Structure 1
């Protein structure tokens, strides 16, 4: 028997869902910093600044302090960006999950293990899909770090795929960050195809942080209420 089960979201889950989302986003900060430090301009800047300071001042201590302050400022920038994104999300769809998902022809599920919510995912119909398409978008997939590796994320994605089939959708689409490597690997292993990439702003382009778009084409669509298996 699986150590978890998936059920539809209830209002009592709200606090735990917000905690899962917030913690999951904060876990991405180190990956985002590593991603930026691998960029060509970062590879030039990081050693270039301390070398210049040493040549000008002759002080290794000053160069070390400046390098530390640079990394600290970088971490602070990402931390503030993460905090602002979380705050914005908590005031948007996550402020009222029932209204944003369940009452909007979508749904929201949680994975529960030992009476504790350890995972979540949502789905909403795409408002303006391509002509001739009926699409469902996957949102807010997250699993507690202590419960990863148990197949929970895959089970949550399958729940969305089944829901989309039951609604007669032709595709399931989603967006994820370029530093969410495990999520990308999961989606691709489950049959999603990368179908787009964009940068939110000039700042994210400079930091090398893009948004990736993935699409899962359902082999066939069933009408609402169908209980077909896959």
Structure 2
């Protein structure tokens, strides 16, 4: 296991950060595709239409071609949706990380191993937190597939929590997709609690892609004596 250390982002890391984020997001496409196939309406549609084609036309070849093209189009839809999201992020906060995070009262960290950036995470203050709360939001957690299983993701999250404590935040919050199984397991294992669950659109609901909101409540620095 190669040693690693976590440090603040530097401009020379930018290209590697973008690559890590893009590759990490694209890894979710197969999981989302297979998840879609297990939904009730997919299980009904997939066999029903080919059978109907056979009954009407008598052609198994036509039914097979339909099934292949349907699955291909479905996979393409997920890939395009992922790419659009990645492009949106690359043109937003990831276009200028120093400006978006370091100069906006937040921070951005990288995990470095063997001279290479292998993990990333960012954090920004929540603009309109609930009354009486001061919240920090965790963004863009990603670790290279070759460097997983070494505790890097957990160390990056701990870095965000330590930063939040030092800055006097009451909570660390984040949102993640339901296809990010390992991420959700990590957050829950570290004490984050699910505090919300929603779909961003009807299309996402049909695709079975939902968003979970997590919150980690930080203990008060000052506790009154009994």
Q: Which TM-score tier does this pair reach, normalised by the shorter chain?
A: over 0.9
> How far 1:197 moved relative to its partner?
1.0
Give TM-score, length-normalised by structure 1. 0.94
Q: How much has 1:82 moved relative to structure 2?
A: 0.9
Structure-2 residue corresponding to 1:77: 77
Aligned to 2:134: 134
Q: Which moved more, 1:58-67 or 1:7-16?
A: 58-67
Does the CA-based 8 Å contact 2:2-2:114 persist in structure 1? Answer: no
CA shift digits 1:190-222 (9 cap, x unpaired):
000000011111110111101110000112248
CA RMSD of aligned residues (A): 1.2
Show structure 2 runs of 5+ residues with no match: none
Q: What is the distance in 2 between the residues matched to 1:49 and 1:30?
A: 23
Q: Is the 8 A contact 2:2 2:113 kept in 1?
A: no
Offset of 1:16 from its aligned partner?
0.2
Distance 2:63 2:49 in 1: 8
With over 3 angstroms needed to count, the CA separation of the structure-2 counterparts of 1:221 and 1:91, relative to structure 1, is: farther
3-state SS, counterpart of residue 112 of structure 2? strand
Kindly tell me the number of residue pairs found equivalent between the two proteins. Answer: 222
Structure 1 residue ranges without an equivalent (≥5): 223-230
2:168 corresponds to which residue?
168
**In the alignment, which residue of structure 2 is the partner of 1:199?**
199
Deviations 1:104-128 (A, max 9, x none): 1100000001000000000001111
TM-score, normalised to structure 2, is 0.96
The ranges of structure 1 where at least 4 consecutive aligned residues each deviate by more than 6 angstroms after the TM superposition are none
What secondary structure, in the 3-state scheme, does the structure 2 residue paired with 1:176 have?
Answer: strand
Output the CA distance in 2 between the equivalents of 1:191 and 1:145. 24
Find the counterpart in structure 2 of residue 99 from structure 1.
99
In the TM superposition, what is the alpha-carbon distance from 1:2 to its structure 2 partner?
A: 6.4
Which residue is 1:63 aligned to?
A: 63
